[in-house]
Structure 1
Amino acid sequence: MASPMDRMKQLVDELNHHNYLYYTLDQPEISDAEYDQLYDELVRLERETGVILPESPTQRVGGEILEGFEEHRHLARLWSLDKAQTDDDLEAWYQRVTRLIHEYNREHPEDPLPEPTFSVELKYDGLTINLTYDHGVLVQAATRGNGITGEGILAQVKTIRSIPLTIPYRDGIIEVQGEGIMYLSVLEQYNKTATEPLKNARNAAAGALRNLNPAVTAERKLDAFIYNVGYSDRQLFATHQEMVQFLKDNRFKVNPYIAFVQTMDEVKAELEAIKARRHELDYLIDGAVIKLTDLRTREVLGYTEKFPRWAIAYKFEAEEVTTILRDVTWEVGRTGKITPVAIVEPVEIGGVTVQRCTLNNIGDIERKNVKHALGAEVYIRRSNDVIPEILGKVTDEKDGEEIQYPEECPACGSKLVQRGAHLFCENSLGCKPQMVARLTHFASRNAMDIESLSIMTADQLFTELDVRDPADLYDLKFEDLIRLERFGERKAQKLLDAIEKSKQCDLASFLFALGIPNTGITTTRSLAEHFKSLEAVRQATVEELLQIPDVGQIVAESIISFFADPRVKESIDRMLAAGVSPQFEEPELAGETAIVSEFSGKNVVLTGTLQKMTRGEAAKLLEQAGAKVAGSVSKKTDFVIAGEKAGSKLKKAQELGVTVLDEETFLAKLRLK
């Protein structure tokens, strides 16, 4: 019978093998339950023996909070890369490279360098990490720092499960470099339950790896791509291809995208291909890296004071730039939340001129060190056509004027209250921006679907007809509307007809229309399915609400507080008295409208634009078919239905081997009975 120590070694080897298959190759061989059984056995043996082997996977969960980071001196310098932003820049680099090679060959005709060939790799937008292995054991991990010394982050890096704690290469010391990243899908999932949502994947990864609490790092579920061997105490390979193979052979996660090409025309073609698909990736990149593949040529060409001569970073059109923060205005939202908006010196990012940036809340202002930044230089970032955000101040100096936080609502003059990092105006019935936004939300497609009630119409109803509450809409008369500017008979009747039609609504849409704090369309749908009547939702207790998978303590308390508000009670009662009748319809399991299909009991994700229906309509069909519609792709996803312009979710599905259906196939698989 094996001793406890022998069994522990066996378990460690087996678990690390399965970690490699799961996190690096994405090819698991055992179920999660089988893995957990082995893991639990190892934990029990470690507890009984008091021994933890250095490569044990139990060391990846994050230990005690560290007091500070220790300085680490790299065995070889981590170089920055010279940058090219145009084809002319790239061509100039190529001409320098070929000139240096030809000059060397003229002087050394007996042993010439080969004609240059190239690798093209992705340039990740994360945090550079440097890993030190001593005779196969991971002994240190560090940030890049100034290239010569960095900060030791071994405990944090150990939480990244794709990074091996031991490797097969045992013949000496090596340092390898890579990039710590947070997948965009992981960030999206993290933010669904986060008390303080993370703003972007790059800062999330960098912040996690430089957090003194490794448990925080573990929660972020980071990953890493390894791309270089920076130091070895012996010659290991002659080409970049051999280096990449060495990394793969030693169980490092190497990005599958790497191209080896012969000419600069091929390099440029690869760059165009990367540009075309960059926003389909599930992680951030900001360019590509071009390197000479022959390592002897690299050694001959050497380095400038700052950069290797044999590599260059091709930067895509800037999505992060610096500009001057000129002013901060304060905008009032539907819930009364006051949001600061930064007014910056106009600057172009990715072909778009930017003048306004989000700052989220006063906590964001403090955290990003822009409290004293008026008139000073700040970093801003724009990603995927979303509103740009301020990332922080360029310097740590207090070299700008102070941003003054308002004490009164900029719209109605009411006294503001602070809750956490946010300011609120509590004048919900008299504050115009709040009421107009609330009316517009109430009338939106996924809510009461009142056609023609635009934000301009809502503004007009508030100003001229004193509409202060959604219930007031059901009191409107033809003679009220016809006297409004831009309202003819046809427009007035069309709005009244739409309001009348909205009275017959489904329960989930009505709950969403009410604008319950901390709930969205998914949560309100879950409320409707669980309670099945408006009255049951209004009378629900915290304990009953917590039985719903989408509802936690904060959301449950928000729902209770909302329906306990006398103004909300009065508004709902008035709407019910006016004939509004929210109903929950059980999906029929038999009969003419039932849907029978292979989607029953399956996890399905919708992505892209469908032509024959909206994604909301498709989701309803799937739910009637017994499917669970999810927002992100994972290993548990059974089907992805992809419409036009499907992006990162489609890519993730293809990487995971999930079945992808186009719209026609999806509809064909839904059989009406």
Structure 2
Amino acid sequence: MTTEEKIKQLSNELEQHNYKYYVLDSPEISDFDFDMKLKELQDLEDKNPEFFDASSPTQRVGGAITKNFETVVHDFPMQSLSNSYSKEELEEWEARVKKMVDGELEYVCELKYDGASISLTYEKGKLIRAVTRGDGVQGDDVTNNIRTIRTVPLNLKGDFPDKFAIRGEIVLPYEGFAKMNAERVEIGEEPYSNPRNTASGSLKMQDSAEVAKRPLDCLLYSLIGRDLNLSSQYEGLEKARNWGFKVPKEAKLTKNIDEVLEFIQYWDIHRHDLPYETDGVVVKVNNLHQQDELGSTAKSPRWAIAYKFKAERESTVLREITYQVGRTGAITPVANLDPVQLAGTIVKRASLHNADQIQKLDIREGDTVFVEKGGEIIPKIIGVDFTHRDPNSEETQYIKQCPECGTDLVRAEGEAHHYCPNDNGCFPQIVGRIQHYISRKAMDIEGLGGETVALLVKAGLIHNYADLYTLKKEDVLPLERMADKSADNLILGIEKSKEIPFERLLFALGIRYVGETVAKKLAKHYKSIQNLMQATTEDLINVDEIGQRIAQSVIDFFASEENRNTIKRLMDFGLQLEISAEKLANQTDILQGNTFVISGVFSKVSRTDLKKLIEDNGGKVSSSISAKTNYLVAGENMGPSKLVKAEKLGTEILSEDEFLEKLNPS
């Protein structure tokens, strides 16, 4: 078997296992065996880049960066649906339909999943483009991000048309959403508000590798195109399922409006058993010829209607408004409620978000309020029952001082929250900042948990994260539930954290708006904390993907004398506050400010190594040629389109040898 045949065989095998695991939910091999096969394929592709295929299973891990999403006009508009909320409205819709078409009517009922709408285009069985709904006429090309979703087939099977589009919804299952929020809370970040917004936001993330980490799912429901050789909506669902798409099995063919209502009544009760958020049922005329006859209005198809479920809502009494302080000093008002059962759980507290929300809804202590819970982790108050308001109630006055330390609160222009500026003297901020520092994605200090941090601060043993490195075993042994072995592990974990690389330490510092990705970019650009501390706002803004808000936050952080003293102490304790000499050995600024596109097959270095050489020497790698591309590094068997575009734009073309010579001009 040739190498090319082996790559194709492994790709087909992995695609089949991926389909059985993610779409059919019936895996045939273990995760370990799957990973081993994937690694074998990756190794073969790395050694044989001439067989590179964008549809390979190895490409699902992402890595492409999209700075600006291209706007694409839909071949067929993505219209919105008319909504109905009652049996009467559905019957009125059916009466209108019957007036416009002849013959018997059937309806397909599909659950209305609450996510982000997407249109996928396939040519010759391969995914070529994924576009968001946008305004219905045009949307954003998010193909790089969609490729990372396991339930989106990159290659189809069966008797698919030569070219077509399929519409669906990108959703985030409850379980995955809860896991993501647990991880955010662990590192001291605010939890996401609900699965729908998180799924939608994921599609516009610039780094597809970050999207690949999110447990997104894709549920498909509508084939679009010409000459599809289909007669009905239900047949289209079956065909799509056979081609490899994940089509929800809950869809049902019904004979009349009574059966439609039975479907709605069943799922209004049982929708909470599903792994995804749903907010209703979509009812469609099944016959595609009748759909064509019915046509559309300017906004909506006449052959379909959405029945919206009533949101999970209850009323209860708001007894008290309290205020929480986060690690960044953000103040969050909380409604303390009379316990009420909502969506299967007892709710005692609900977020009030900020002062504007309280003012907008005129929420007061003692009010009877309406509490709603869709897919949100935290219930929300959506209104007040003014018929039950005490005529002597007083308007809520938002607090002016921090509830923990008494410091006057501040609210910057354009900010939704009030903040406590006493970041180094406010207990929840001190504890939260250290908890973020020790978290798994930051310093990952084993043997030290969030509760222990609070105990250490309360006992006066630590005041900031630099104090961790002064702790001795005899200091921590008296703490509650601290045994001899636990104390050893804690001290060992703190010592071991001195080996954590600079970019993770930079993230651990807890600079506002500096997440994992930004920390990596800053570390790579500035090489050391000393260089970063000396950077001006203008310098920072010139770094790729660093805007005014992040730049100002970094400047403010290092302007604090206490923060500078903490950094100095971390240096003295031997932490990694610069990129290691080993990493720096192969890095220069020779290619600084230049963008490269790599195309073709190379004999002296692999494409992966070529990309690393560019980035290690200050350059940037792009996947497509544009006016901003400085160089095209051209290997053997390069596609003609890139060459033509490069020549048209006047992009300088380098051979492999010319590129390597550029790195070693001597």
TM-score (norm 1): 0.54
Q: 1:424 to 1:280 in 2, by over 3 A?
A: farther
Aligned to 1:485: none
Unaligned ranges ≥5, structure 1: 102-112, 321-327, 344-349, 392-402, 432-510, 519-530, 559-673
Query: How do residues 76-475 of structure 1 correspond to structure 2 at under 5 angstroms?
Result: 76-101=76-101, 113-168=102-157, 169=159, 171-194=161-184, 195=187, 196=189, 197-230=191-224, 232-318=225-311, 331-332=323-324, 339-341=331-333, 358=351, 382-383=373-374, 388-389=379-380, 408-410=401-403, 413-414=406-407, 423=420
Aligned to 1:498: none
Q: 1:164 deviation in Å? A: 0.6
Q: 1:417 to 1:536 in 2, by over 3 A?
A: farther
Partners of 2:486 and 2:247 lie apart in 1 by 53
Q: 1:341 deviation in Å? A: 2.4
Identity rate, percent = 31
Aligned to 1:20: 19
Q: 1:24 deviation in Å? A: 0.7
Deviations 1:42-64 (A, max 9, x none): 11111111232132011111123
SS at match of 2:34: helix
SS at match of 2:44: helix
Which amino acid is the alignment partner of residue 283 of structure 1?
A: Y
Aligned to 1:62: 62
Aligned to 1:32: 31
Partners of 1:187 and 1:386 lie apart in 2 by 9
Partners of 1:385 and 1:189 lie apart in 2 by 13
CA contact (8 A) 2:194 2:376 kept: no
Which amino acid is the alignment partner of residue 163 of structure 2?
A: I
Query: How do residues 461-540 of structure 1 correspond to structure 2 at under 5 angstroms?
Result: 534-536=482-484, 539-540=487-488
Deviations 1:305-357 (A, max 9, x none): 2111111000111469xxxxxxx9761479997742289xxxxxx99xx9x96
CA contact (8 A) 2:72 2:139 kept: yes
Q: 1:514 to 1:76 in 2, by over 3 A?
A: closer
Q: 1:15 deviation in Å? A: 0.9
Q: 1:41 to 1:429 in 2, by over 3 A?
A: closer
Unaligned ranges ≥5, structure 2: 314-319, 336-341, 364-370, 383-395, 412-416, 429-449, 458-478, 510-666
Q: 1:192 deviation in Å? A: 2.2
Aligned to 2:73: 73
Partners of 2:376 and 2:143 lie apart in 1 by 36
Q: 1:547 deviation in Å? A: 13
Deviations 1:416-472 (A, max 9, x none): 799x997488999999xxxxxxxxxxxxxxxxxxxxxxxxxxxxxxxxxxxxxxxxx
CA contact (8 A) 1:176 1:229 kept: yes
Partners of 1:193 and 1:386 lie apart in 2 by 14
Aligned residues: 417
Q: 1:430 to 1:253 in 2, by over 3 A?
A: closer
Which amino acid is the alignment partner of residue 98 of structure 1?
A: K
Deviations 1:617-637 (A, max 9, x none): xxxxxxxxxxxxxxxxxxxxx
Partners of 1:385 and 1:146 lie apart in 2 by 26
Partners of 1:417 and 1:542 lie apart in 2 by 37
SS at match of 1:534: coil
Q: 1:222 deviation in Å? A: 0.6
Q: 1:339 to 1:415 in 2, by over 3 A?
A: closer
SS at match of 1:175: strand
Q: 1:280 deviation in Å? A: 2.1
Partners of 2:153 and 2:328 lie apart in 1 by 49
Aligned to 1:542: 490
Q: 1:537 deviation in Å? A: 7.2
Q: 1:240 deviation in Å? A: 1.6
CA contact (8 A) 1:81 1:307 kept: yes
Aligned to 2:461: none
Partners of 2:358 and 2:328 lie apart in 1 by 26
Which amino acid is the alignment partner of residue 83 of structure 2?
A: K
CA contact (8 A) 2:62 2:212 kept: yes
SS at match of 1:217: helix
CA contact (8 A) 2:402 2:420 kept: no
Comparing 260-269 and 531-540, the one that deviates more: 531-540
CA contact (8 A) 1:127 1:180 kept: yes
Q: 1:283 to 1:224 in 2, by over 3 A?
A: same
SS at match of 1:179: strand
Q: 1:74 to 1:292 in 2, by over 3 A?
A: same
Partners of 2:122 and 2:255 lie apart in 1 by 33
CA contact (8 A) 1:330 1:339 kept: no
Q: 1:286 deviation in Å? A: 0.6
TM-score (norm 2): 0.55
Aligned to 1:48: 47
Q: 1:190 to 1:547 in 2, by over 3 A?
A: farther
SS at match of 2:154: coil
